[in-house]
Amino acid sequence: MIADKRVITDDTLKRKVSIVGLNEGMTPGGFLQVQIEVLNQKNSMQNFSYRFEWFDMNGMLINTPTSVWIPRQIEGQETLSITAVAPTTTAKDFRVKFMENVRKD
Amino acid sequence: MKPNFYSILLPVSALLIFGGCATHTQYVETTGPRTIVTTDINIQDFSYAAEDMIKSLLASGALDKTQIQPAMLAISRIVNNTTQQIDTDLLIKKIRVALNQSGKALTTTTMGIGGIAEDPMAKGIQQEKEFYADKKEPQRMPNFTLSGKIIEKRDRQDDVRQVTYAFQLSLTNNDGLAVWEEEKQITKQGKRGVIGW
């Protein structure tokens, strides 16, 4: 399991879904690119949402229309790769938040 | 006077009856996880599609291959092939804003399908500037056009209803070649009792 302070998971979800990989790179155009691999430790399907936040070299949050909570499903014992690309080349760091779905519909 | 059972029953009943009819409205984050989910295209579906499209477009490097940076983009036809009346700007504007912020492309507002400018005043100013200029410089033409389609597909099995929305976009260069294409599908399921189709 990866322990990175930039990856934040709520306590309930942490018991079911864990982060098992984190890769960082740059696109040919100079955008920061992140890939996170998550594993469902349970046998049942899990629903969760995640959101990436991007920060410039001064640690200021970059406001972007693409920073949204995205719902995903992961089947039991399955791994899933989540990728994200920074909205600007000025984004030097990121933070990603995972949480269990708050809506049960 | 000591209140009896009936003197309390009346106001309590009224409170329950009319209080039950009161609506509870609150603000929710538009891009957050508490927005309403229906089988129609919801506001968050445009956000999910735009996020995926931008990620793919920026990672492709397609916009980096022009001589003059940032690239110039014109918006072509975005076809709504769903059963719903939707404003495709809910998708396209997010992409435009993100491209503008990325520094990789700027969108023209003086060119549109059929010669209709999105911003007629800007087009008028541009024409006037050209008229009064001593030497008329050739107008910069868009490097790319963005076109697309939103498609709806409905299926059902027993009492389960499923709807899929396919968001398709193509970026075409001025040689007429689609240099980037992407499709994002969003599928939702509901039961017959919940939805009216």
pLDDT of res. B197: 47
Q: Which amino acid is at A29?
A: G
With CB atoms and an 8 Å threshold, state whether B59 touches A66.
Answer: no
pLDDT band at B108 (very low <50, low <70, confident <90, very high): very high
B147: exposed, middle or buried (C-beta count within 10 Å: 0-12, 13-18, 19+)?
A: middle
With CB atoms and an 8 Å threshold, state whether A66 touches B50.
Answer: yes
With CB atoms and an 8 Å threshold, state whether B51 touches A69.
Answer: no
A26 CA: distance to closest CA in chain B (Å) = 9
A15-68 per-position pLDDT tens digit: 999 999 999 999 989 999 999 999 999 999 999 999 999 999 999 999 988 889
pLDDT of res. A87: 95
- Whether the per-residue pLDDT at A104 is higher than 80: the answer is no
With CB atoms and an 8 Å threshold, state whether B59 touches A89.
Answer: no
Half-sphere exposure of residue A75, counting CA atoms within 13 Å on the CB side? 1
**Residues of chain B positioned with their CB less than 8 A from the CB of A102:** 33-34
Chain B contact present for A87, CB below 8 A: yes
Q: Which helix (H) or strand (E) holds B190?
A: strand B178-191
User: Using CA of residue A65, residue B185, residue B104, residue A80, what is the dihedral sign?
Assistant: positive
Return the SS3 of A94.
strand
CA distances in angstroms from A77 to A39, A73, B86, listed in the order given: 7, 12, 39
pLDDT of res. B140: 86
Considering the entire predicted model, what is its pTM? Answer: 0.87
Mean pLDDT calculated for residue range B50-75: 95
Best mutation target among B26, B100, B102 (most A Cβ atoms within 10 Å) is B102
Best mutation target among A68, A89, A99 (most B Cβ atoms within 10 Å) is A68
pLDDT band at B161 (very low <50, low <70, confident <90, very high): very high
Q: Give the percent of chain B with pLDDT over 70.
A: 84
B143 CA: distance to closest CA in chain A (Å) = 17
Query: How many angstroms separate the CA atoms of A32 and B160, rounded?
Result: 41
Mean pLDDT calculated for residue range B139-144: 91
- Which residues, 6 or more positions from B57, have their beta carbon under 8 angstroms from its beta carbon? B63, B95, B99, B171, B180, B182
With CB atoms and an 8 Å threshold, state whether A33 touches B59.
Answer: yes
User: Taking Cα atoms as reference points, which of A50, A14, A6 lies closest to residue A32?
Assistant: A6
Query: How many angstroms separate the CA atoms of B117 and B124, rounded?
Result: 10
A45 CA: distance to closest CA in chain B (Å) = 16
With CB atoms and an 8 Å threshold, state whether A29 touches B63.
Answer: yes
**Residues of chain B positioned with their CB less than 8 A from the CB of A65:** 47, 50, 94, 97-98
B151 CA: distance to closest CA in chain A (Å) = 21
Mean pLDDT calculated for residue range A6-15: 92
* Paired sense of beta strands A32-40 and A17-26, if any: antiparallel
pLDDT band at B31 (very low <50, low <70, confident <90, very high): confident
Mean pLDDT calculated for residue range B119-140: 82
Q: What is the mean pLDDT of chain B?
A: 88
Question: So what's the ipTM on this one?
Answer: 0.90
- Whether the per-residue pLDDT at B135 is higher than 70: the answer is no
Chain B contact present for A20, CB below 8 A: no
B147 CA: distance to closest CA in chain A (Å) = 20
pLDDT of res. B189: 94
Which one of A29, A88, A101 has the shortest CB-CB distance to B64?
A: A29
**Residues of chain A positioned with their CB less than 8 A from the CB of B50:** 65-66
pLDDT band at A84 (very low <50, low <70, confident <90, very high): very high
pLDDT of res. B56: 96
- Per the CB < 8 A criterion, the answer to whether B185 and B155 are in contact is no
